[in-house]
């Protein structure tokens, strides 16, 4: 039965609020995830050494690597509690559009990733002495677009690997190569916003990010139904 767009939008909202409520009730998990991201930032600086110039130059890369590496834990967890309690089977049987399920869950994951980036950004600026030289609004746009880029394929692959025994290994193995254009564009745009953008290149990288988002939010929305039915 085809559902009307209004119903699908309402279902997206319901799935989104359900997932955010679950995460809010398990706040300690989110706190642990933020601590993990901060630990990664420290590890990068230890690995590179106390070279202030290098750390400042690559501050954007450290920020996004910590978000990407933390994201697999977040994404896997978002599907784990659906599978463990059999909730996903119930959701599949319920009159909910698979697309609504995908967009609701992916938006919830994207929202949490944006929050994680907001927590990780001040330490990046402080630890690596990388002040923002361009508009914070443009950085916010890059962060949101980058997190949306991680969330769409991440949610699909988290669902795809959720019932497999080697899911902890498979999720990053499948997801990270796919995210290379997203990582590249996010890091380049963030680094330019931190170091200055005299050649106005940020918009081109932001455009690439938005194209990536559009492509993967469309494809993953189409394929998600087949994944959860399998």
Partner 1 sequence: MATTQSGGLRWEHGLLALGLALLAVGHVQGLFFAPAEAMMGDVGRILYVHVPTAWADMLVYTACFGFAVAALWTGKATYDAAVEASAEVGVLYNALLLFQGSVWARPTWGVFWTWDPRLTTSAVVLVLFLGVLVLRRVIPEPERRLNLSAIAAVLAYVGVPIVYFSVKWWRTLHQPFSSPQTVDGSFITPLRLAAFGMIFLGAGLIGLRWRALRRGLERDLATPDLPAAAPALRLPGEAGGSAAGGAL
| Both tokens assigned to 79 | 């599907």
Burial, 73: exposed, middle or buried (Cβ in 10 Å; 0-12, 13-18, 19+)? middle
Question: For partner 1, which is the closer residue by CB, 43 or 174?
Answer: 174
Helix axis angle, 27-48 to 59-84, nearest 10°: 150
Question: For partner 1, which is the closer residue by CB, 135 or 218?
Answer: 218
Shortest Cβ 153–partner 1 spacing (Å)? 7
Question: Do 147 and 114 touch, CB atoms closer than 8 A?
Answer: yes
Question: For partner 1, which is the closer residue by CB, 2 or 229?
Answer: 229
* 87 Cβ contact partners less than 8 Å away, ≥ 6 residues apart: 81
Question: For partner 1, which is the closer residue by CB, 6 or 230?
Answer: 230
CA 3 to CA 10: how far, in whole Å?
A: 11
Residues that bind partner 1 (CB under 8 A): 153, 156, 160, 163-166, 169-170, 173-174, 177-178, 180-181, 215-216, 219-220, 223, 226-227, 229-230
Question: For partner 1, which is the closer residue by CB, 115 or 174?
Answer: 174
Shortest Cβ 123–partner 1 spacing (Å)? 28
Burial, 191: exposed, middle or buried (Cβ in 10 Å; 0-12, 13-18, 19+)? buried
| Both tokens assigned to 153 | 């394929």
Instruction: Quote helix, strand, coil % in the chain, to nearest 5.
Output: 85, 0, 15
Shortest Cβ 92–partner 1 spacing (Å)? 14
Shortest Cβ 72–partner 1 spacing (Å)? 14
Show the CA angle centred on residue 127, arms to residues 124 and 131, nearest 5°.
60
Shortest Cβ 98–partner 1 spacing (Å)? 13
Question: For partner 1, which is the closer residue by CB, 124 or 159?
Answer: 159
Show the CA angle centred on residue 197, arms to residues 191 and 200, nearest 5°.
120
Shortest Cβ 202–partner 1 spacing (Å)? 16
Shortest Cβ 163–partner 1 spacing (Å)? 8
Question: For partner 1, which is the closer residue by CB, 103 or 157?
Answer: 157
């Amino acid at each position: 039965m085809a559902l009307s767009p209004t119903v699908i939008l309402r279902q997206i909202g319901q799935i989104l609020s359900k997932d955010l409520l679950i995460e809010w009730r398990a706040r300690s998990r989110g706190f642990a995830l933020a601590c993990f991201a901060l630990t990664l930032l420290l590890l990068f600086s230890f690995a590179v050494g106390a070279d202030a110039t290098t750390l400042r130059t690559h501050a954007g890369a450290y920020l996004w690597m910590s978000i990407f590496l933390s994201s697999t834990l977040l994404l896997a967890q978002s599907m784990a509690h659906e599978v463990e309690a059999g909730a996903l089977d119930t959701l599949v049987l319920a009159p909910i559009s698979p697309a609504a399920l995908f967009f609701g869950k992916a938006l919830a994951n994207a929202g949490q990733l944006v929050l994680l980036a907001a927590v990780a950004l001040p330490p990046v600026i402080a630890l690596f002495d990388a002040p923002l030289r361009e508009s914070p609004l443009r950085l916010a746009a890059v962060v949101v677009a980058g997190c949306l880029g991680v969330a769409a394929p991440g949610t699909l692959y988290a669902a795809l690997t959720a019932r497999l025994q080697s899911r902890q290994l498979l999720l990053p193995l499948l997801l990270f190569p796919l995210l290379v254009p997203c990582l590249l564009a996010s890091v380049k745009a963030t680094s330019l916003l931190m170091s200055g953008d005299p050649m106005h290149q940020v918009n081109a990288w932001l455009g690439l990010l938005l194209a990536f988002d559009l492509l993967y939010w469309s494809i993953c929305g189409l394929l998600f139904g087949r994944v959860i039915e399998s």
